Amino acid sequence: MTRRSVLRTLEFGVPVLVVALWWFISEAMPPSFYFPPLRDIWAAFQATWIFDGIGRDVVPTLTGIVLGYAVSVIGGIAIGVVLGSVPALHDFLHPVIDFFRSLPSSAAVPIFILLVGVGMEMKVAVVTLAALWTVILNTSEAVAGADPVVTDTSRSYRLGRLDKLLFVTLPAASPQIVVGMRVALNQSIILIIVAEIMVSTQGIGFFLKNAQWHFDLTGMWSGLVMVGIIGFALSRLFLFFERRVLAWHRGLHGKAEL
Amino acid sequence: MTMSETARPDAVDRQRGDAKIHIAGLGKTYRGHGKDRQVLADLELKVRDGEFLSIVGHSGAGKTTLLRCIAGLEPPSCGEVRFDGELVTEPPAGLALIFQDYGRSLFPWLRVLGNVTLPLRSAGTLSAQERRAAALDALKAVGLADAATQYPWQLSGGMQQRVAIARAIACRPEVLLMDEPFASVDAQTRADLEDLVLNIRRQYGVTVVLVTHDVDESVYMSDRVAVLGGTPTGVAELIDVDLPPERDQLTTKSLPGFIDLRTRVLRAVRELPSERKSGA
Amino acid sequence: MAGTAVVSTVTRETATPEPAASLWSSSRALRRVTLLIVCLAGWQAIALALDNPVVPTVPDFFAAAAHDVTTAVYWSSLGNTVAGWAIGLGIAALIAVPLGMIIGLSTVLDHSTRIIVGFLQATPSVVLLPLVVLVYGTTIQMKIILVAIAAFWPLLIQSTYGIREVDRVAKETARSYRLRRRDRVLFLYLPSAAAFVATGLRLAASIGLAVNIAAEVLASPPGLGQQILLRTSNADDPASAFVYFVTAAVLGVLIAGLFRGIEQAALFWNPAHRKAVRKARLKGRAS
């Protein structure tokens, strides 16, 4: 076998092996309360999540993630483009934006609850508190740091404002904007779950807290597996999006894989 | 070996009339931390309609600065640039600039056709179909009609620069400004591109201002060569290239007249006194 | 357009000087102070508009802060937060960095673990909170474990990356000079990887703090988050909750700044990084 195919086999084979090992070892060992056998977890998974659980808990969580993320990304890119285009304003406001980005947003959840209640608005607000600044900062840095040759070319060809924005500024900034979007996605997921664990009556966060209260370990582990799947699915989705949007960038820099 | 008309640029120009671009008393100073660096001072130059003018000088002499002032990308610190009599404060219509760094000037997220049509799109005077036709014509003129659907970074350096040239001429400019356009390509490609530009100039009747550090190139391609020099920089010499208008890489470059001219330009660049025969 | 006569040949005699760099653009301190004032004004306006005691007006805030800073609770909860964060981060670093480097050095390990690591690191560590609370209760150990798990992944991935990305030409140079393995590790791999590890440290530090505070808010082990929760549920001290919130925010900013500084220091040799730094510095200059 070629070296490459050996590596490929390892890449897919080892995880499968690990899961199999987990299954058999957890069967064979004496029962541990906190780490139930994989077989039981699988049974709980099937019972819970396929398919009512999805409607009951996955959908509200995903809704929260999507809403908060959308507000952060759209608002962030818009504000970021404006800031990046006015360097003086960018320099002036930079410390404030950096401040909001660096603060641990979970600390704001109790305060937001008192301010906005416990509904979807609170969740969106908390996510925005975290993710908006990340997107703003990445966007404005990318726009402000645009390659001077690109800027000179658009000026010398007297490109119109809208054309410049759509065909030059945004595409040129997109690699870094996408980086910000990736971080913002992670932040959105984390904060939605925090908010749900804290105050919700539905959603994955709530499910896990509920399982904790009822000492339902198999249920909790099945929930963890579900979260893992969702996280993995979202990140693959994002990767797919990134590949499409930045295909030219990979081609330019000659990377075979990102 | 005659001295010929290198004495004073003004004297020569006044005889010949119409200036497409008039640069008068141009000065440019850059502010550093505490220190000001005056790059250009009191620069006078007239670019005639339809001519091919090369600008040569040492690296750091200010050639690019001068070109950027002409192109309207930098405001002069003093003096002025006029294009067709109008003061230049921002990039004027009718002028197209070709950058040395084609890799960064062509937009990597657009295909070749997209790159060439973008300025036309902004100008807003043509329909989408007309733009596409104009772009394809320009690409055909540079010999790259087949590359329209590729990305610039899939092409070689020479081809990318040709795309940049196509982008410029698709706009039907009156003046083409070129900032060391062939510095980043190999010698063989450079020769091909030089001839391409000469063809384009003939075909489209554009005025061309070429900034280059390559003395041979400046003489080969131009009607006149402006040598920048001095500190701060001004026009040190203006040399007429009295070679036959039909230029060819092999024959032109072996003409005795060519060798004389390149020697003169080289001396001027190196700021050596010109050869003087008795008197004059 | 041929034949246009030259219209004007007037040359200005004296050079029109560039406008002098204004006081505003040259004094960073002035800009920062103005920003501070603007922010305080904005804060005051928002606080008045919201009219909710949990967002106190600026004077109320400073009054509450002046009081809280004198209490023992303030400093003990700050200490608890920092301790949990630091210990968790330390544990994660001690395990993840060497492990990551080992994985980076071995292609076999690298490929074998790729999917597992990819899957696990995509999971937000916060979801483990209910499980860890069940096992450890609402104690500092619970926090430390959560922080360690959260901080583990960026450190692992960056350490692996750091070894993998050691410049190929540099590696070949080291081999062609027949450097001993020990020297190669000490003088080539470790310094190169150090920069990436420093980045990983920065990421891990901020993720660690975020998870720490989240754990405190959700499960109430001792710390700043716990105090915020306490004071928002307890009706008679809402302004104080905001004080603790601001403390957590400032802590986050300080940590981010500290680790960014470390990262810069570790990256001083990297040409791409130096170029970026130089570019940022030059932005002020060009006229």
Mean pLDDT value across residues A207-225: 89
CA angle A107, A110, A112 (to 5 degrees): 95
pLDDT of residue B272: 58
Residues of chain B with Cβ-Cβ distance to C282 below 8 Å are none
Q: Are residues C103 and C241 both part of a single domain?
A: yes
Mean pLDDT value across residues B48-76: 88
Pairwise CB contact (< 8 Å): C8 & B85: yes
Confidence of residue C280 (pLDDT cuts 50, 70, 90): low
Contact, A129 vs A122, CB < 8 A? no
Mean pLDDT value across residues C25-41: 86
pLDDT of residue C282: 58
Question: In the predicted model, is pLDDT for residue B141 greater than 90?
Answer: yes
pLDDT of residue C283: 52
pLDDT of residue B211: 94
Sheet holding B78-83, edge to edge: B36-48, B19-31, B78-83, B86-87
- What is the residue-averaged pLDDT of chain C? 82
Amino acid at B88: V
In a domain? residue B177:
no
In a domain? residue B21:
yes
Q: Indicate which CATH number applies to the domain containing B257.
A: 3.40.50.300
Q: Indicate which CATH number applies to the domain containing C248.
A: 1.10.3720.10
Question: In the predicted model, is pLDDT for residue C84 greater than 50?
Answer: yes
CA distance A150 to A172: 8
pLDDT of residue A118: 84
Which of A192-196, B252-256, C13-17 bottoms out in mean pLDDT, i.e. has the lowest?
A: C13-17
Residues of chain C with Cβ-Cβ distance to A106 below 8 Å are 210, 213-214, 217-218, 225
Question: In the predicted model, is pLDDT for residue B4 greater than 60?
Answer: no
Å between A95 CA and nearest CA of chain C:
8
Q: Are residues C47 and C142 both part of a single domain?
A: no
Q: Are residues A8 and A48 both part of a single domain?
A: no
Question: In the predicted model, is pLDDT for residue A241 greater than 70?
Answer: yes
Q: What region does B84 belong to: left with phi over 0, alpha with psi -120 to 50, or beta?
A: left
State what percent of residues in chain A have pLDDT above 90: 38
Question: In the predicted model, is pLDDT for residue C108 greater than 90?
Answer: no
Which of A176-185, B84-93, C5-14 bottoms out in mean pLDDT, i.e. has the lowest?
A: C5-14
Q: Are residues A101 and A19 both part of a single domain?
A: no
CA distance C220 to C209: 15
Which of A148-157, A220-229, A247-256, C211-220 bottoms out in mean pLDDT, i.e. has the lowest?
A: A247-256
pLDDT of residue B220: 94
Q: Between these two residues, C7 and A39, which has the higher pLDDT value?
A: A39
Domain span at C241: 61-282
Q: How far is CA A96 from CA A108, C257, C261, C277, in A?
A: 17, 13, 18, 21
pLDDT of residue B3: 41
Smallest CA-to-CA distance from A235 within A182, A157, A199, A192 is with: A182
Confidence of residue C279 (pLDDT cuts 50, 70, 90): low
Task: Specify the residue for token string 């810069």.
Answer: C264
Pairwise CB contact (< 8 Å): B84 & C4: yes
DSSP for chain B, written as a single string: ----S-S-HHHHHHHH--EEEEEEEEEEEEE-SS-EEEEEEEEEEEEETT-EEEEE--TTSSHHHHHHHHHTSS--SEEEEEETTEE-SSPPTTEEEE-S-HHHHS-TTS-HHHHHHHHHHHH--S-HHHHHHHHHHHHHHTT-GGGTTS-GGGS-HHHHHHHHHHHHHHT--SEEEEESTTTTS-HHHHHHHHHHHHHHHHHH--EEEEE-S-HHHHHHH-SEEEEEETTTBEEEEEEE--S-SS--TTTGGGSHHHHHHHHHHHHHHTTPPPP--S--
CA angle A184, A187, A190 (to 5 degrees): 155
**Residue range B109-122, pLDDT digits in tens:** 999 999 999 998 88
pLDDT of residue A41: 86
Amino acid at A192: I
In a domain? residue A159:
yes
Report if pTM > 0.95: no
DSSP for C212-256, written as a single string: HHHHHHHH--SSHHHHHHHHHHSTT-HHHHHHHHHHHHHHHHHHH
Pairwise CB contact (< 8 Å): A163 & B107: no
Å between C209 CA and nearest CA of chain A:
7
State what percent of residues in chain B have pLDDT above 70: 90
Q: Are residues A119 and A186 both part of a single domain?
A: yes
In a domain? residue A163:
yes
Confidence of residue C8 (pLDDT cuts 50, 70, 90): very low
In a domain? residue A258:
no
Closest-CA residue of chain A to C116 = A15
In a domain? residue A98:
yes
Closest-CA residue of chain C to B42 = C11
pLDDT of residue C281: 62
In a domain? residue A181:
yes
Question: In the predicted model, is pLDDT for residue B280 greater than 50?
Answer: no
Amino acid at B174: E
Mean pLDDT value across residues C62-73: 90
Task: Specify the residue for token string 């320009």.
Answer: B138
In a domain? residue B279:
no
Amino acid at C95: I
Domain span at A179: 33-253
Cβ-based neighbours of C63, under 8 Å, separated by 6 or more: C239
End-to-end alpha carbon distance in chain B: 11
pLDDT of residue A139: 94
Question: In the predicted model, is pLDDT for residue B192 greater than 60?
Answer: yes
Q: Which of residues 190-219 of A touch C (CB under 8 A)?
A: 190, 193-194, 197-198, 204-205, 208-209, 211-212, 215, 217
Question: In the predicted model, is pLDDT for residue B201 greater than 90?
Answer: yes
Smallest CA-to-CA distance from A62 within A242, A202, A181 is with: A202
> Strand B175-179 to strand B207-211: parallel, antiparallel, or no bridges (unpaired)?
parallel
Closest-CA residue of chain C to B27 = C15
Amino acid at B242: D
What 3-state DSSP class applies to A72?
Answer: helix
Confidence of residue B194 (pLDDT cuts 50, 70, 90): very high
pLDDT of residue C276: 66
Q: Are residues A38 and A87 both part of a single domain?
A: yes
Q: How many CA atoms lie within 13 A of C60 on its CB side?
A: 17
Highest-confidence segment of B13-22, B188-197, C179-188:
B188-197
Q: Which residues pair with B19 in a beta bridge?
A: B48
Q: Are residues A111 and A25 both part of a single domain?
A: no
Q: Are residues A18 and A50 both part of a single domain?
A: no
Q: Are residues A163 and A152 both part of a single domain?
A: yes
Question: In the predicted model, is pLDDT for residue B143 greater than 50?
Answer: yes
Confidence of residue C11 (pLDDT cuts 50, 70, 90): very low
Mean pLDDT value across residues A162-171: 92
Say which DSSP state C138 is in: S
Question: In the predicted model, is pLDDT for residue A220 greater than 80?
Answer: yes
Cβ-based neighbours of B44, under 8 Å, separated by 6 or more: B9, B10, B23, B24, B25, B26, B234, B235
Q: What is the ipTM of this complex?
A: 0.84
CA distance C130 to C125: 11
Confidence of residue C52 (pLDDT cuts 50, 70, 90): confident
Q: Indicate which CATH number applies to the domain containing A80.
A: 1.10.3720.10
Question: In the predicted model, is pLDDT for residue B274 greater than 50?
Answer: no
Q: Are residues A140 and A19 both part of a single domain?
A: no
Pairwise CB contact (< 8 Å): B85 & C6: yes
Question: In the predicted model, is pLDDT for residue B278 greater than 60?
Answer: no
In a domain? residue B187:
no
**Residue range C166-216, pLDDT digits in tens:** 777 777 777 777 777 777 777 778 877 888 899 999 999 999 999 999 999
In a domain? residue C210:
yes
Residues of chain C with Cβ-Cβ distance to B85 below 8 Å are 4-8
What 3-state DSSP class applies to C205?
Answer: helix
Q: Are residues C145 and C255 both part of a single domain?
A: yes
**Residue range B217-264, pLDDT digits in tens:** 999 999 999 998 877 788 888 888 988 888 888 888 888 899 999 999
Q: How many CA atoms lie within 13 A of C284 on its CB side?
A: 14
In a domain? residue B255:
yes
**Residue range C208-229, pLDDT digits in tens:** 999 999 999 998 899 999 888 8
DSSP for A20-55, written as a single string: HHHHHHHHHSPP-SSS--HHHHHHHHHHHIIIIIII
Q: Are residues C41 and C153 both part of a single domain?
A: no
Task: Count the domains in chain C.
Answer: 2
Q: Are residues A176 and A198 both part of a single domain?
A: yes
Q: Between these two residues, C86 and C17, which has the higher pLDDT value?
A: C86
Amino acid at C118: G
Task: Count the domains in chain B.
Answer: 1
Joined together, the tokens standing for residue C32 give: 């920062």
pLDDT of residue B208: 95
Q: What is the CA radius of gyration of chain A?
A: 23
DSSP for C68-104, written as a single string: HTTSHHHHHHHHHHHHHHHHHHHHHHHHHHHHHHHHH
Mean pLDDT value across residues C57-82: 91
Q: Are residues C49 and C117 both part of a single domain?
A: no
Question: In the predicted model, is pLDDT for residue B1 greater than 60?
Answer: no
Q: Are residues C214 and C189 both part of a single domain?
A: yes
Amino acid at C81: T
Chains contacting A (3 or more CB pairs within 8 Å): B, C
In a domain? residue B257:
yes
Q: Are residues A26 and A40 both part of a single domain?
A: no
> Buried (b) or exposed (e) across B263-279, using 16+ Cβ within 10 A?
ebbbbbbeeeeeeeeee
**Residue range A61-108, pLDDT digits in tens:** 999 999 999 999 999 999 999 999 998 888 889 889 989 988 999 999
Across the interface, of C8, C15, C21, the residue whose CB is closest to B77 is: C15
Q: Are residues C181 and C224 both part of a single domain?
A: yes
Smallest CA-to-CA distance from C225 within C215, C238, C235 is with: C215
Task: Count the domains in chain A.
Answer: 2
pLDDT of residue C287: 29
Q: Which residues pair with B23 in a beta bridge?
A: B45, B81
Question: In the predicted model, is pLDDT for residue A222 greater than 70?
Answer: yes
CA angle B250, B252, B255 (to 5 degrees): 110
Cβ-based neighbours of A178, under 8 Å, separated by 6 or more: A242, A245, A246
Mean pLDDT value across residues C83-92: 96
- What is the residue-averaged pLDDT of chain A? 88
Q: Which of residues 135-154 of A touch C (CB under 8 A)?
A: 145
Smallest CA-to-CA distance from C250 within C107, C61, C26 is with: C61
Mean pLDDT value across residues C2-21: 39
CA angle C136, C139, C142 (to 5 degrees): 50
Pairwise CB contact (< 8 Å): C224 & A107: yes
Pairwise CB contact (< 8 Å): A7 & C206: no
Q: Are residues A26 and A42 both part of a single domain?
A: no
Question: In the predicted model, is pLDDT for residue A35 greater than 90?
Answer: no
Length of chain B (residues): 280
- What is the residue-averaged pLDDT of chain B? 85
Pairwise CB contact (< 8 Å): B84 & C286: no
pLDDT of residue C17: 43
Pairwise CB contact (< 8 Å): A99 & C113: no
CA distance B91 to B206: 17
Domain span at B252: 1-89+208-274
Contact, C226 vs A72, CB < 8 A? no
Across the interface, of A186, A193, A212, the residue whose CB is closest to C134 is: A212
Phi, psi of C165 (to 5 degrees): -90, 10
In a domain? residue B11:
yes
Contact, C121 vs A18, CB < 8 A? no
In a domain? residue C127:
yes
What 3-state DSSP class applies to C124?
Answer: coil
Task: Specify the residue for token string 């084979």.
Answer: A13
Q: Are residues C47 and C87 both part of a single domain?
A: no
Confidence of residue C31 (pLDDT cuts 50, 70, 90): confident
